[in-house]
Structure 1
């Protein structure tokens, strides 16, 4: 298999073979991220992709599911993705579901009709790394798009029948943007139609722009308690009918299949954490993290 750099897979999705169709991240400028800092972005050669599909077929001939890599493989144009889908079906005729990570702006160059064709060929789910839907927060971390872009592109996915996850990066806006980051992200996520909303916590990783700003005194990170309070504000303002996932530095039993039915319990458990957890210990755990 041709895997370039560290391999990241969705830990919450069903197990499936991994097929790399791009290398690195097409944007690679987000100030909070160092995942692909040492990997040059480029599409994987078609002969590599075909070799890997044949290898998957040799070991998992009956698989009905694939996860396509790397950071945002949906950046490939419609024609290239369509060709890859056909190649997959040539060797793996049972594949019905393909999932992958994507940036919101990966969708912009694809029409609804093109998206419908890709859905019919198996591209059933995108994991959208939105991180925020607040314009000022998105600008501060150089995401490259705004909150309205999220709604417009998600509407195209809805029309095509492609499911999508939306991610909220707790604490990415620091103290300066915390309220707007939480409230505006929840508002736009609620207006969209995600099947899953996932949240993670900001860490100041080596080599990131946020760490550089922090060292210059230009970024004030939230405390552990502040992170939990921001997450609570986000959840209070969030309303959607789907699965909710969060991975904080400590388990608070917040994950569930149906957010709307469990919102009250989620908020109660989170408040218990705010009131009772050892924040110094949680801060040490976070500061010892070296990667996702």
Structure 2
């Protein structure tokens, strides 16, 4: 199959067919993100996409999942996405779902009816980077959307029947604003009520604006216990009707997987045990993005 540049996908799509229908990210301005740097956003030509679907059908005919890469595939015009999904359904009939990255810009460009059509054609899950529910932090990291925007656009996806996996970033507000970041992120997660939440811990990537801020002394990365305390406060402020809160990514100091609301109290107790030193944290050299 054809791939251009570095291909990124969510951890939960590790065993999925990766079909690159766009290259890069149309926003590509977040201060913390090192993905797609030096890479212009572009749309993969139809003939390449169709050839890759045919290749996947020959080599992975019984695959259950497929992920549409890159970081902004939902921004494709509706007609183009429709045609791609129809061809995927015809060639790979055993798929249970197709996944995609989504952001406020791409969701705003689609009506609920268009999103419903995509869901009927197999698009079952969208991965959305919230990062923070704190507007001050969202502005600082140049996310390009407010917390209210995030809630509204996530609501469109849910109204269309598309499951949501929302990513948040521990430590991104710095030490001083950490309590507000945790509380507001919990509030926004509760308002969105996604099926899945994935919490990652901040790791500074070279060649990013945030890296330059750290070197200049304009941003301080919170330490492990501060990050853990932030995670505790965020989970305490998050009320999901029936969701999974994951903080078991390789960047995190303490693996956490909690079904909310049932396991909320037990998860807070687990974090408390780590905060007082009764549980070992992942050492720095084992952390990774």
Across the aligned residues of Structure 1 and Structure 2, the Cα RMSD in angstroms comes to 1.9
Normalized against structure 2, the TM-score is what? Answer: 0.93
Normalized against structure 1, the TM-score is what? Answer: 0.92
How far did 1:80 drift?
1.7
How far did 1:35 drift?
1.6
More displaced stretch, 81-90 vs 47-56: 81-90
More displaced stretch, 136-145 vs 64-73: 64-73
More displaced stretch, 246-255 vs 159-168: 246-255
How far did 1:77 drift?
2.2
How far did 1:250 drift?
5.9
Aligned twin of 1:194: 194
What SS class does the counterpart of residue 166 from structure 1 fall into? strand
User: Which consecutive unaligned segments of at least 5 residues does structure 2 have?
Assistant: none
User: Which consecutive unaligned segments of at least 5 residues does structure 1 have?
Assistant: none
Aligned twin of 1:77: 77
Aligned twin of 1:37: 37
The answer as to 2:21 corresponding to 1:54 is: no
How far did 1:96 drift?
4.2
Aligned twin of 1:107: 107
How far did 1:178 drift?
1.1
Aligned twin of 1:127: 127
How far did 1:72 drift?
2.1
* Contact 2:253-2:283 at 8 Å conserved across structures: no
Q: Distance in 2 between matches of 1:223 and 1:65?
A: 37
Aligned twin of 1:232: 232
Q: Distance in 2 between matches of 1:45 and 1:29?
A: 25
Counterparts in 2 of 1:12 and 1:64: CA distance versus 1, 3 Å: closer
How far did 1:192 drift?
1.1
* Contact 1:136-1:177 at 8 Å conserved across structures: no
